Every structure is written in structure tokens, then in C-alpha cells.
Amino acid sequence: MSEQPNFAQEVDAEISDPQLEEPQLYEVMLLNDDYTTMDFVIDVLMQFFRKSYSEAELLMFTIHEQGSAVCAIYSREIAEMRVKQVVDHARAHEYPLLCVMQPH
């Protein structure tokens, strides 16, 4: 008998046992608009997505030019919380900034 692990069995177990499946991850994205200031977006990226100033500035310009960009990838619960925090923060400052999530 071979001492090698049976990978086929392990793969089958992962498919059949939901407890062993990897949790679905979600991309959290910011969308461009014409009214939110560049400085506000940079602050959001630093405050809520833990980017350095230079990372945040580069990502902000990517969103500004491309229309959107992935800012982080999280589990569903963390992604939902982050989207709500960012949207609430933007509305509190009367900016229309949109933050959305989609399966990774």
C-alpha cells in the first residue's frame, strides 16, 4: 500500500462538506463620480482601507480614470461592514461617493 495521501479523497471531502469549503470572498470597490473631492477619497482609502498616502493617491487616480477599482478583498461580513462605514462617512460629509461589493 502507498503511504501517499489520497488527494482525490480530500478534494471530494471539500466539495461535499460545506464546513470545509473556503468562504466566498468579496471585492470592495469605490466608484468614480464628478463631485467627491480627490482629497476626500484619499482620506477614505487611508482611514478605511489602511492605505499609505502614496498608495491612496495612486488608487484614487486609478478610480478617477478607470471608473472604479478594487480597494480590498474581505469575507462577506467584513465587506458589508466596510461598505456601510464608507457610505455613511461619505453621506455625513454630503458626498455622493459610492462603495460597492461583488464576489471575488
The contact set with ligand TYC (CB under 6 A) reads 30-34, 36-38, 41, 60, 63-64, 97
Cβ atoms within 10 Å of 71's Cβ, excluding its own: 22
With a CB cutoff of 8 Å and minimum separation 6, the contacts of 71 are 28, 29, 30, 45, 49, 51, 59
Query: Residue 50 Cβ, how far from ligand TYC at the closest point, in Å?
Result: 17
CB closer to ligand TYC, 60 vs 83: 60
Query: Residue 24 Cβ, how far from ligand TYC at the closest point, in Å?
Result: 25
Residue count (the chain): 104
Query: Residue 44 Cβ, how far from ligand TYC at the closest point, in Å?
Result: 8
